[in-house]
Structure 1
């Protein structure tokens, strides 16, 4: 995970040119929702990645302009813009990774679940096009509510007869990024050297930071944990309130999405022991079909699910509290497609 962060931080540095640009290392990556608040900075970060040979930008408006703008940046990745529903399959065809930040953002007073009515249909349509045009691509969902949109995509892929649970991811990386940052602030550490697994889901109480499994090891008293954990869980709302109607977490989410995509590419080109947390099809928790845990990534997506690890009594209580919420969100996504 630290290697991914170093690559991101070198983004504008000439040192990027030391990376190999052989065909083995080059990947075609699509961003669905590339003109939006997350999509534009996400595309900027991916344009800087030396492992990206071709960047396909899709959205319903403004994509040619975004593509033209990014194409002037002095990195090897070729940029193409695709605008409108009729171009969706063409945008995805032949891609190795499809990252999906498409949808409407949260506004003050809204929960991620409030976005369901709009974003569910958007994810369904994008997943349908991806399943037809690039069934082997890794499908990485940022669009909220992730706890429901991942089941939606899975049901679409099942209906298309191309479902592979190892290739569909709910990108919950922002929860890890926030946990690393907040813990580092409290302990006076370099956040790039902190690693906090975050399991569960990607909304409210389903976000479960495993402080006991932090690297390096950190200790907090109960009073501090009682403030730290809710802050990690509600950090998205913190940003929504601070932006006062001007949007939700876009820049930090773009960073997190790029980090996850870059980790996938590192694993796909053969690097070993690439680990990221993500919300995926899982049997780690009884009664739930989806759950976020640390995953070893490989050429074909999920190579190994590392599970929950050893939990403290307090962390187990957080898991128990999250189960009913996750079960409801998962069923909502399944029902949306099947009914």
Structure 2
């Protein structure tokens, strides 16, 4: 059997670190691509990573390129391309520029890898994955967004820090848009099977949720120049693994919802089963009245963001 072909579009911090995680786990052969203006930068990062293989003991091929021809026939494509957030910027500030970048990338993917599963990471996430699906025309199961894995990881990290327990024992779920309107689901959050509500009082739990919502901005403010990349890249690698190994992982994914949760044709974060086919099944939960209201508020924010994006693109 041939190895899976994994292409990563965008060789910045998130893309290069995603390549690192995927190579180290031997998930497949990797193509790291960036725009021609970067010249030999992707090739340099790829060669450096490949030279780590004898030390770390992995045999994945890693190449860097500025040509989409090298990505042809990819099984999975991770799209990190776009400008990053700077201090004081919201994800929404990135909308106009990154929508144009994602449009260009989507056109290239459609031409070179029509059977790929596409995982979008570019921000603002929910609008970018909606645009990717629109541009490629792929089955919606083959186009999804990475946000929920990252948001849930941040949530689990903060809960572990609060309780002094292993992150491995914490199960959690966040739904909705990627940003300040994300929705925690307390009934799906536990520590070693113990409901989180029995371990942390509601007021403190809400403070942890709020820190999770602003998790990316907190890192941006600390770094001063740049945004998070270790955890976002690891989250991407987990989704790549679910596809190439047909893991059937039940994870939060930005997936296209129609009748599900009465969303009506938008990408939002929901629990889903991921395997070789991409988003193979969306899981519908019975939400409480307050969770339903919060989720609808988050969906409305996504709809507004998409409408703004469509208007910006239509006006050039």
TM-score normalised by structure 1 residue count: 0.83
CA distance in structure 2 between the partners assigned to 1:335 and 1:134 by the alignment: 28
Query: What is the match of residue 59 of structure 1?
Result: 34
- Contact 1:147/1:203 (CA < 8 Å) preserved in 2? no
Find out whether 1:241 has 2:221 as its counterpart.
yes
CA distance in structure 2 between the partners assigned to 1:239 and 1:278 by the alignment: 22
CA distance in structure 1 between the partners assigned to 2:263 and 2:221 by the alignment: 35
Find out whether 1:232 has 2:212 as its counterpart.
yes
Find out whether 1:111 has 2:87 as its counterpart.
no
Q: Which whole-Å deviations, capped at 9, do the CAs of 1:131-165 have from their partners, x for residues lacking one?
A: 1111110111011011110111111023xxxx210
Structure 2 vs 1, CA of residues 335 and 138 (structure 1 numbering), >3 Å: closer, same or farther? farther
CA distance in structure 2 between the partners assigned to 1:31 and 1:264 by the alignment: 15
- Structure 2 alignment gaps of length 5 or more: none
Find out whether 1:149 has 2:125 as its counterpart.
no
Q: Which whole-Å deviations, capped at 9, do the CAs of 1:274-309 have from their partners, x for residues lacking one?
A: 2121111112232442221111123211221112x1
- In the TM superposition, residue 320 of structure 1 has moved relative to its aligned partner by 2.9
- Contact 1:32/1:39 (CA < 8 Å) preserved in 2? yes
Residue 72 of structure 1, aligned match among 44, 51, 74: 51
Query: What is the match of residue 209 of structure 1?
Result: 184
- In the TM superposition, residue 336 of structure 1 has moved relative to its aligned partner by 5.2
Residue 20 of structure 2, aligned match among 16, 24, 44: 44
Q: Map 1:83-162 to 2 at 5 A.
A: 83=66, 87-88=67-68, 90-158=69-137
* CA-based RMSD: 1.7
Count of matched residue pairs: 299
CA distance in structure 1 between the partners assigned to 2:281 and 2:263 by the alignment: 20
Query: What SS does the corresponding residue of 1:38 show, helix, strand or coil?
Result: helix
Query: What is the match of residue 196 of structure 2?
Result: 218
- Contact 1:288/1:326 (CA < 8 Å) preserved in 2? no
Find out whether 1:168 has 2:143 as its counterpart.
yes
Find out whether 1:178 has 2:154 as its counterpart.
yes
- Contact 2:102/2:132 (CA < 8 Å) preserved in 1? yes
Q: Map 1:276-315 to 2 at 5 A.
A: 276-283=251-258, 284-289=260-265, 290-307=267-284, 309-315=285-291
CA distance in structure 2 between the partners assigned to 1:118 and 1:129 by the alignment: 17
Indicate the larger mover: 106-115 or 324-333: 324-333
Find out whether 1:30 has 2:7 as its counterpart.
yes
Query: What SS does the corresponding residue of 1:285 show, helix, strand or coil?
Result: helix
Query: What SS does the corresponding residue of 1:259 show, helix, strand or coil?
Result: helix
- In the TM superposition, residue 334 of structure 1 has moved relative to its aligned partner by 4.3
- In the TM superposition, residue 225 of structure 1 has moved relative to its aligned partner by 2.6
Q: Which whole-Å deviations, capped at 9, do the CAs of 1:235-291 have from their partners, x for residues lacking one?
A: 1111111112x1111122111111221122221xxx4x4212111111223244222
CA distance in structure 2 between the partners assigned to 1:336 and 1:128 by the alignment: 18
- Contact 2:251/2:271 (CA < 8 Å) preserved in 1? yes
CA distance in structure 2 between the partners assigned to 1:333 and 1:138 by the alignment: 23
Find out whether 1:325 has 2:301 as its counterpart.
yes
- Contact 1:212/1:312 (CA < 8 Å) preserved in 2? no
- Contact 2:17/2:233 (CA < 8 Å) preserved in 1? yes
Find out whether 1:258 has 2:241 as its counterpart.
no
